Amino acid sequence: MATITKIEIDGFKAFPNNFSIDLPDGKNLLIYGENGSGKSSLYYALHVLMQSVFKDDKGVKYFKPGDTNGGEFIPNNEQLININRFNEAKDNTYTPNIRITFDDGKVWRLDNGGLQSENGGSESDIRMLNKDSAFINHSYISRFHAARNSEEINLWNVFYKDILPFHLPAGTSEFLADLYDNIKREYNGGVDIKNKAFQDQITKFNDLLNKYIDRINIRINSIYNDNFKNEGDKELNIKLIYYSKDHPDNVLKEQYYLFCGKNTNGANIFYPPKIGIEIKETGLLIYKPQSYFNEAKLTAIALAVRFAAMSTTAITPGSFLALDDMLISLDMSNRAKVIDFLLKICNMYKIYLFTHDKMFFEYFKHKTQKHQSEWVCKEIYMDDNKIPYIRNSEDYLGQAEHFIKQHEYEIAGNFLRKAAELLCKNFLPTKWQLSTDYSRLDLNGLIQNCKKYAEESGLKDVAIFEELDGFRKFILNPASHDSYDIIKYRYEVEECLHTLHAFQSIVIIPFLEYGAKLYFELKTPLPNIEKYKFEIILCDDFRIIKLPDKEPIISKGMINYRVIKNETIGRMQSDNTTLKHFYDVNYSKSDKSKSSNYLNSIIVSKTEDPIYNFI
């Protein structure tokens, strides 16, 4: 199986419209999102699609609005369609869906038709990927230590819901949770409980679960003591219990195994499995772990059990750990231990980690710096229209856009000002960024010089710089933020953002190198024909300026040039001009036999190519 490279969600839970997140080259994922931002919906989208392969209806129920019976619409209580798109889905005018793309090109889609591959993928691939993957959220932690103080801990519910759906025993083709479900289904269907085939299935289940528990017990103590134990704490010996009645250690002959038989009255009885846990601290048995240990240590034990249940060999490529806020009960020092463990195993498993804790997000992000190229770290938020979006933290405009959506207009204004300064500096050659005394220009000076530089370079439309100058007085002036009208300020901020995006769309590219030599040749008209060759040396930072849907221009700059008239070499002269203007002035005096387009007529001496080829 291949690795996930893209997740797309449209009309599922918190996502009313198409939302996607890319994981190029199958990278790990770290997501921060406040409660209600759509973070957990992203986690569940992945969970629902992957688990639908095991559902009888292939996950149809998650996107089926309901049924009509006698003209009455009966809603489907299991559907997870976004509330704002429900009516469209009900009317069949819209099809909400989840799509996952893998690096082998296969695309899987879940919608009201169930799970299906869009391009020939095999269900066995999804099943095998589930085999070694795991979903862990805070519900798992809660279920793990849900026992009351007066009760013994029984982990069967934890295993059934969170672990066995992902366990495919070696040499079998059926997940252990599915085997249990089939047994329970046959029992509820009235099967003869003495039927040999039925009892053989029960024996098979107990044997397979017993082997699995033994395998977990081999690894659980080293995982806990080597990774999660606090310095100075006593070592724990943790053991899961799944005994048959005749096991020598089952002194009280307790019923752990799945059992189906008859009671003393002859009535059928069904005993679900029971999985106990025995914990010793320096050899001393802890009778009530849920009372003796604090929540942080119980959480660490729960994680040790879950990680011990995962395979360490023959792992299906692309297998992953998806973790959603499963560390809520841990302080930062204990979370750091879990982070270190996850980073240890991310060479075997892809990690998809979702958290609402910003401090934890930043800490984990910091810990991944050495392997930054292997991670995608994103923040997800909800805008005013209840639409989740990924925050762009990579540039000032992305930051400004985020803070506008979060109604933090003063902060947005600060980022817009930084963006304006940076864009101006990228647009202008260095000497245009300095005053006459060679000090750095402020934003006002930069904007004025951008307009002047653009005009002198032949840019006809300088409205962007005029608009930017208007915004400078309020939006880009930090002194005005405290007293400015908030409603109008939002409108102005959004307009300023639009202008800066337009400014950002101007592409600036270096043109040739300093000292490059060019030439062009012209002739005067009849009757006195004279040949002129103009030799030019670039003595400045010339740039190509490209506006969307406009012809590119070459900026103004200093040139040295000389004119060779009828093979008589003239003296070297200088000019501060554009190549277009220099050519056009001389072309206007010629016989017009050459092209009027300077880009085709001016030649680069080194290559004998027109300068058009360098734009």
Sequence-ordered list of residues with C-beta below 8 angstroms from that of 564, at least 6 positions apart, any chain: 532, 533, 534, 535, 570
- Measured on CA atoms in the order 405, 48, 176, 245, is the torsion positive or negative? positive
Give the domain 1-133+316-391 fold: Rossmann fold (3.40.50)
Sequence-ordered list of residues with C-beta below 8 angstroms from that of 95, at least 6 positions apart, any chain: 11, 63, 89, 111, 112
Percent of the chain past pLDDT 70, that is, above it, reads: 98
pLDDT band at 170 (very low <50, low <70, confident <90, very high): confident
CA-nearest of 441, 462, 437 to 452 is: 462
DSSP bridge partners of 12 = 15, 81
- Give the pLDDT mean for 161-184: 89
**C-alpha–C-alpha distance, residues 178 and 184, integer Å:** 10
Q: Could you state, in order of their start, the residue ranges of all structural domains in the chain?
A: 1-133+316-391, 151-292, 396-505, 517-614
Q: Look at residue 365 and tell me whether its pLDDT is greater than 60.
A: yes
The pLDDT score that the predictor gives to residue 597 is 95
Mean pLDDT value across the chain: 91
Q: Look at residue 479 and tell me whether its pLDDT is greater than 70.
A: no
Give the chain's count of helices (H) and strands (E).
18, 28
Q: Look at residue 148 and tell me whether its pLDDT is greater than 80.
A: no
The pLDDT score that the predictor gives to residue 314 is 63
pLDDT band at 412 (very low <50, low <70, confident <90, very high): very high
DSSP bridge partners of 73 = 68
DSSP bridge partners of 280 = 237, 285
pLDDT in tens, 561-615: 999 999 999 999 999 999 999 999 999 999 999 999 999 999 999 999 999 999 8
- Give the pLDDT mean for 234-252: 90
Q: Look at residue 31 and tell me whether its pLDDT is greater than 70.
A: yes
Distances (CA, A) of 284 to 13, 122, 278: 48, 51, 11
The pLDDT score that the predictor gives to residue 249 is 85
Between 144 and 7, name the one with better pLDDT: 7
The pLDDT score that the predictor gives to residue 287 is 86
The pLDDT score that the predictor gives to residue 480 is 52
This prediction has a pTM of 0.80
**C-alpha–C-alpha distance, residues 134 and 179, integer Å:** 19
pLDDT band at 481 (very low <50, low <70, confident <90, very high): very low
pLDDT in tens, 523-573: 999 888 999 999 999 999 999 999 998 889 999 999 999 999 999 999 999
| Relative orientation angle of helices 486-504 and 396-405, to the nearest 10 degrees | 150
The pLDDT score that the predictor gives to residue 294 is 87
The pLDDT score that the predictor gives to residue 484 is 47
Range picked from 356-370, 384-398, 416-430 for highest mean pLDDT: 416-430
Q: Is 503 helix (H, G, I), strand (E, B) or coil?
A: helix
How many other β-carbons are positioned within 10 Å of the β-carbon of residue 319? Answer: 21
